[in-house]
Amino acid sequence: MKILFIGDIVGSPGRKIVHERLADILAQREIDLCIANGENAASGFGITPRITEDLLASGIEVITSGNHIWDRKDILDFFPHEPRLLRPANFPNGSPGSGLYTGQARNGTPYAVLNLQGRTFMAPLDDPFRGAARELAKIPPDVKVIVVDMHAEATSEKQAMGWYLDGKVSAVIGTHTHVPTADFRVLPAGTAYITDAGMTGPHDSVIGMDKQGVLQRFLDAMPARFVVAEGNVQMNTVLLDIDEATGRARSIDRLNFRLD
């Protein structure tokens, strides 16, 4: 079973490359399931109902998120209507939506996607490790293919989650920092891991934002308006090959696409 995970989609440039390139990529590489982190899809901060629907129509089956999920208030009432849009499962009880989705891939294989958020250098939330154990217990035993989006700032926390879930899930994919890492591997018990899948959006930027505003903020420490950059649009993705019978990963690779 082939799964494509798309790194954080940033603003209209990120959405544009998804709309223009994804359908061909899914067909040419015979992808069975496509997952994307979309929490920065609306001008770099949050996601809207319309953008959610557009991304799902482009071929993405499940959209994960993170700390920016509440930035667009109209998304709050939308959650009950679209279970394929996830927020981190370790948000406090009573938060809108869910952090877990189960479905059936294009090849008929049942799967689950779990969204978690780290706590180190981020807003305090419930424990993602105990949250992972709680959510995994909800997944039916016949669902072997399980992909986890670990949305976190600290590489150590992401790696710890990879080791914690090794052998329990098919893959742990790190998101949030927008810079792809080179530590992709299959861990000893069969879980594919990478600390960060990277970013889908403008790479002539500072993690997707226009360079000038960010540089000015570093230089004078004064408030600055951050806007999404435009140049060198790329789609950073991770390709997983999973044994659908056991849920163990056969391989994990990084794939990078550019906007023609």
Marked catalytic residue, from 19, 68, 176, 203? 68
Amino acid sitting at position 245: A
**68 noted as active-site residue:** yes
User: What is the DSSP code string of 116-162?
Assistant: EE--TTS---S-HHHHHHHHHTTS-TT--EEEEEEE-S-HHHHHHHH
Contact 197, 173 (CB under 8 A): yes
Give dist(CA 256, CA 234) in Å, integer: 7
Beta bridge partner(s), residue 151: 117, 175
Structure tokens at 100: 């877990």
Q: Would you please indicate which residues are annotated as catalytic (active-site) residues?
A: 68
